[in-house]
């Protein structure tokens, strides 16, 4: 029978592996959790208080388990580049390596790249001398478990047995710790064999240290793999649906926030993930939908593939539509205009810029002839440069027209328009909604933007394009701003 888990090894010290391991370790003081990565800088940074990723509340959780601070416990969270030793010692291995979209060969731009996963599993095969439970934590295409089993069978020592589980992570960045501490559900997929079910139970026992057992659902391995892709596809689909409606609102003189509120009150629909925006970003939605569509296509389900791809299609449309509106409002030409971009991260409370809509919007306006000054409270300057360059068809224009500023006021000086691309609380002029604003601002030492001061800095007429609907237009209009929000048309005046 499979024993109680004493040692966990997490391969991949990124956005998923780091926070997940930290919470598991904090909640299971008797389990040793070692996070490994071959990236030495990343591991070194996890060993300091300057963590490689920013997540509200993460540092406290890490310090608790890693340093044993606050209640004199022994440290049980370790970060290491010694991948082999951590694998050899572990009872359970979490695979949290990156699975980006393939950039080479068959399926490039669509399918998921499994080379990192494959390499991690080959290492497990060659290093393991005792039985292991191996858990797919990163998002994988359906039936990846078959591929991994095949590699293990061919590379491992005789007599060593592996049990593969799928346990997808549903955390969202910016709220990772909250999501991990109070998950809606934990999905554990296993083979329908006695050993498969025992392995699932052993993993479930790690979670019951803090999660209500009623929220832990054990299902078939392949259902679990598909559930992860399905969840992200359905969430993204809601955003594309609401963004498609936002285009209609602008034309009709309706207000998308009112429409979303009205439909979200239907319990069958619910209020979450209905916020119209300049388009979704992040490392998951686009990648997972394209992966789902690619799988559908490889099963000859062409209509299904087309349906899911249209979700990404609307997202691209929304980004371009937003840029077109900017150009139109600024008298059909951005040549020699100065635009301030506030926010570059793909959402607030993260420094992550993967797939952020800002890459497209900034490049679009640069291509229209404008010079752009970007400010983001958390994203490093180099990161903005790298992303915009990588997303550009004319990198020489980027060098000429982009600058990245250390403050919002610097970005807004002499600007013809301000463009909000991330919903950072500090850009909003609305009253505090959920109490989080206070904590976040205090934590980061941020102050809310003084729009009166911005007005004093800008060229006239002063346009504001609110790609996140974080602004209450009325007070700004009273100051002389012309505010264009997503999904808000001019209501007919009686
Ligand atoms: C619908 C809306 O639910 C209701 O709010 C609106 O006022 C009128 O349209 P109705 O068409 O009567 O109501 O029934 P509904 O329960 O929504 O089902 C519509 C169709 O969808 C049915 O054929 C039903 O079998 C099907 N359906 C519903 C599914 O296939 N799957 C589901 O999960 C739910
Ligand atoms: C998502 C899923 O939410 C999470 O469950 C999964 O594990 C990983 O992918 P994440 O990408 O971190 O998480 O953030 P999420 O809050 O889902 O936002 C994704 C993108 O959609 C962001 O760019 C966000 O700004 C945008 N968004 C989100 C909207 O435009 N409108 C909304 O209503 C919600
Ligand atoms: P995610 O957002 O899915 O967590 P990240 O890119 O943030 O993805 O993190 C994945 C991490 O996995 C990276 O730090 C990468 O260096 C690491 N990694 C990838 N392959 C391996 C491997 N075979 N062994 C160890 N670490 C790996």
Tell me whether residue 224 is in a domain: no
What is the band of 73 on the pLDDT scale with cuts at 50, 70, 90? Answer: confident
Tell me whether residue 243 is in a domain: no
Identify which ligand lies nearest to the alpha carbon of 266: 1
Distance, CA of 265 to CA of 233 (rounded, Å): 22
The ipTM is 0.95
Give the residue numbers spanning the domain of 439. 253-485
How many other C-beta atoms are found inside a 10 Å radius of the C-beta of residue 173?
24
* 277 and 131 within one domain: no
State the DSSP H helix or E strand holding residue 220, giving kind and residue range, or none if neither.
Answer: strand 216-220
Residue position matching structure tokens 């463009």: 419
Residue 21 per-residue DSSP state? H
* 40 and 94 within one domain: yes
Please answer whether residues 18 and 46 qualify as being in contact, where contact means their C-beta atoms are separated by less than 8 angstroms: yes
Q: List residues with catalytic annotation.
A: 284
Point out the domain boundary residue: 184, 211, 238: 211
Give the residue numbers of the binding site for NAD(+). Answer: 12-17, 37, 42, 97-101, 138-139, 173, 284-287, 354
Inter-helix orientation angle 221-252/144-155, to 10°: 140
* 262 and 177 within one domain: no
* 432 and 313 within one domain: yes
Identify which ligand lies nearest to the alpha carbon of 82: 3
Identify which ligand lies nearest to the alpha carbon of 20: 3
| Predicted local confidence at residue 445, as pLDDT | 42
Nearest to 133 by CA among 95, 102, 99: 95
Please answer whether residues 466 and 474 qualify as being in contact, where contact means their C-beta atoms are separated by less than 8 angstroms: no
Distance, CA of 410 to CA of 418 (rounded, Å): 12
Tell me whether residue 67 is in a domain: yes
Nearest to 427 by CA among 457, 467, 470, 458: 470
The tens digit of pLDDT for each residue in 129-173 reads 999 999 999 989 888 999 999 999 999 999 999 999 999 999 999
Point out the domain boundary residue: 183, 211, 239: 211
Tell me whether residue 240 is in a domain: no
The tens digit of pLDDT for each residue in 33-53 reads 999 999 999 999 999 999 999
- Which atom of ligand 2 is closest in space to residue 347's alpha carbon? 25
From ligand 3's centre to the CA of 39, what distance in Å?
A: 8
Distance, CA of 224 to CA of 150 (rounded, Å): 19
* 460 and 372 within one domain: yes
The CATH number linked to 181 is 3.40.50.720
Query: How, if at all, do strands 77-80 and 481-485 pair?
Result: unpaired
* 120 and 13 within one domain: yes
Distance, CA of 70 to CA of 64 (rounded, Å): 6
pTM: 0.94
* 329 and 446 within one domain: yes
From ligand 2's centre to the CA of 82, what distance in Å?
A: 33
Tell me whether residue 222 is in a domain: no
From ligand 1's centre to the CA of 260, what distance in Å?
A: 20
- Which atom of ligand 2 is closest in space to residue 278's alpha carbon? 30
Q: Residue 230 pLDDT > 80, yes or no?
A: yes
What is the band of 438 on the pLDDT scale with cuts at 50, 70, 90? Answer: very low
Tell me whether residue 388 is in a domain: yes
From ligand 2's centre to the CA of 323, what distance in Å?
A: 21
Domain count, the chain: 2
* 259 and 204 within one domain: no
* 303 and 164 within one domain: no
Tell me whether residue 277 is in a domain: yes
Q: Residue 214 pLDDT > 60, yes or no?
A: yes
Tell me whether residue 332 is in a domain: yes
Residues 6+ apart with CB under 8 A from 428: 437, 448, 470, 471
Average pLDDT, the chain: 94
The tens digit of pLDDT for each residue in 366-380 reads 999 999 999 999 999
Check pocket membership of 39 for ligand 3, CB cut-off 6 A: yes
Distance, CA of 140 to CA of 133 (rounded, Å): 17
Point out the domain boundary residue: 157, 189, 211: 211
């Amino acid at each position: 029978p499979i024993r109680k888990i004493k040692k966990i090894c997490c391969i991949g010290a990124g956005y998923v592996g780091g926070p997940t391991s930290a919470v598991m370790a904090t909640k299971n003081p008797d389990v040793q959790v070692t996070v490994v990565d071959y990236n030495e800088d990343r591991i070194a940074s996890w060993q300091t208080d300057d963590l490689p990723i920013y997540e509200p509340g993460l540092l406290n959780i890490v310090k608790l388990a890693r340093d044993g601070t606050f209640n004199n416990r022994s440290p049980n969270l370790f970060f290491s580049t010694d991948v082999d030793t951590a694998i050899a010692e572990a009872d359970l291995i979490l695979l949290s390596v990156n699975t980006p979209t393939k950039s080479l060969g068959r399926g490039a731009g669509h399918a998921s790249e499994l080379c990192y996963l494959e390499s991690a599993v080959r290492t497990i095969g060659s290093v393991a001398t005792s039985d292991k439970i191996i858990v797919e934590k990163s998002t994988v295409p359906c039936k990846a478990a078959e591929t991994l089993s095949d590699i293990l069978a061919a590379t491992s020592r005789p007599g060593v047995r592996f049990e593969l589980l799928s346990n997808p992570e549903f955390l969202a960045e910016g709220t990772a710790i909250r999501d991990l501490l109070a998950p809606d559900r934990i999905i554990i997929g296993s083979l329908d064999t006695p050993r498969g079910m025992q392995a699932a139970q052993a993993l479930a026992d790690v979670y019951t240290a803090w999660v209500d057992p009623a929220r832990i659902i054990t299902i078939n391995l392949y259902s679990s793999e598909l559930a992860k892709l399905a969840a992200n596809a359905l969430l993204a689909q809601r955003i594309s649906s609401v963004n498609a409606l936002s285009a209609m609102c602008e034309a009709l003189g309706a207000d998308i926030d009112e429409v979303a509120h009205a439909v979200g009150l239907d319990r069958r629909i619910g209020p979450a993930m209905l916020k119209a925006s300049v388009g979704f970003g992040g490392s998951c939605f686009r990648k997972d939908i394209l992966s789902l569509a690619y799988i559908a296509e490889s099963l000859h389900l062409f209509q299904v593939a087309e349906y899911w791809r249209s979700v990404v299609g609307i997202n691209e449309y929304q980004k371009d539509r937003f840029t077109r509106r900017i150009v139109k409002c600024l008298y059909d030409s951005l040549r020699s205009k100065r635009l301030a971009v506030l926010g570059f991260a793909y959402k607030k409370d993260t420094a992550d810029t993967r797939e952020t809509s800002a890459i497209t919007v900034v490049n679009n306006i640069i291509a229209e002839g404008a010079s752009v000054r970007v400010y983001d409270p958390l994203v490093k300057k180099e990161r903005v440069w790298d992303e915009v360059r990588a997303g550009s068809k004319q990198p020489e224009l980027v060098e000429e027209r982009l600058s990245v500023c250390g403050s919002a006021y610097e970005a807004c000086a002499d600007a013809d328009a301000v463009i909000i691309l991330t919903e950072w609380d500090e850009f909003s002029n609305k009253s505090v909604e959920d109490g989080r604003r206070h904590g976040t601002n205090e934590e980061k030492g941020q102050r809310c933007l003084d729009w009166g001061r911005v007005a004093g800095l800008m060229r006239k007429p002063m346009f504001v394009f609110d790609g996140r609907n974080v602004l209450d237009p009325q007070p700004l209009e009273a100051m002389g701003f012309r505010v264009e929000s997503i999904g808000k048309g001019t209501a007919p005046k009686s």
